[in-house]
Amino acid sequence: MLGRVSDDVGEQQERSLDALLGDVATGDRAAFGELYDRTAPRVFGLVRRILVDAAQAEEVTQDVFLEAWQNAARFDAGRGAAVAWLLTIAHRRAVDRVRSAQAAADRDLKAGVRELASPQEDVAERVELRVEHERVSVALAELSEAQRTALAMAYYEGKSQSEIAVALELPLGTVKTRLRDGMIRLRHLLGVTS
């Protein structure tokens, strides 16, 4: 008999939480306050077990009740009890916070690994660039002065073919020919086949 009495009390409390949540859906602040007072310890306890950090658990608990206030109208007592609805929101938000923290830690770790790996890569890159620069300098010296000037203006100064033609006071066709012939000769001198 005693078990039946405690079951009835539990059912009445669940039903009253359902009714409170229904009142919250209509904007009843007093109902929200009572709902908060009666359920916050359970919500906080669940969130705290997932997050461990008390400050983060408090933030997530606040987010849970904000969501409950904003979405109380979506609660359907036919699908479950109000406390189960709140605890589902709490669990989802806590897990989202853990995933977010893990993603941030992974990003930080990847950035740190890149920073640690770059000094060795930088040295190799700089040596390779220096060797390539020397090869190009030697090849450029083999071009005619006219081709070298046109290519230097195009690649080092970033001028267009038309701008080079104006600067050198040459027809556009002549500039195009010098650039094309200079590039063909450079490819040949550098051993580029494609």
pLDDT in tens, 45-85: 999 999 888 999 999 999 999 999 999 999 888 888 999 99
Give the burial string for 39-68 (b: 16+ CB within 10 Å, else e): beeebbebbbebbeeeebbeebbebbbebb
Domain end marker among 80, 107, 134: 107
Q: Count the neighbouring beta carbons within 10 Å of the beta carbon of residue 156.
A: 8
Q: Which tokens is 90 given?
A: 């709490």
One domain, residues 159 and 85: no
- Among candidate residues 62, 84, 107, the one where a domain is terminated: 107
113, part of any domain: no
8 and 68 together in one domain: yes
Question: Any idea what DSSP says for residue 3?
Answer: H
Q: Flag whether pLDDT at 190 surpasses 70.
A: yes
Determine the angle formed by the axes of helices 161-168 and 145-155, rounding to 10 degrees: 130
pLDDT value of position 157 = 85
* CB-CB neighbours of 186 under 10 Å: 18
Residue 18 lies in a domain: yes
Domain count, the chain: 2
pLDDT reading at 102 higher than 80: yes
Q: Is residue 93 domain-resident?
A: yes
Same domain, 22 and 73: yes
Q: Cβ distance 179 to 161 under 8 Å?
A: yes
Q: What is the pLDDT of residue 1?
A: 45
Residue 14 has pLDDT above 80, yes or no: no
Is residue 121 situated within a structural domain?
no
Which of 61, 92, 107 is a domain's end point?
A: 107
Arithmetic mean of pLDDT, 17-44 = 93
Predicted pLDDT of residue 58 = 94
Range of the domain at 15: 2-107
Q: What CATH number corresponds to the domain at position 152?
A: 1.10.10.10
pLDDT at 119: 57
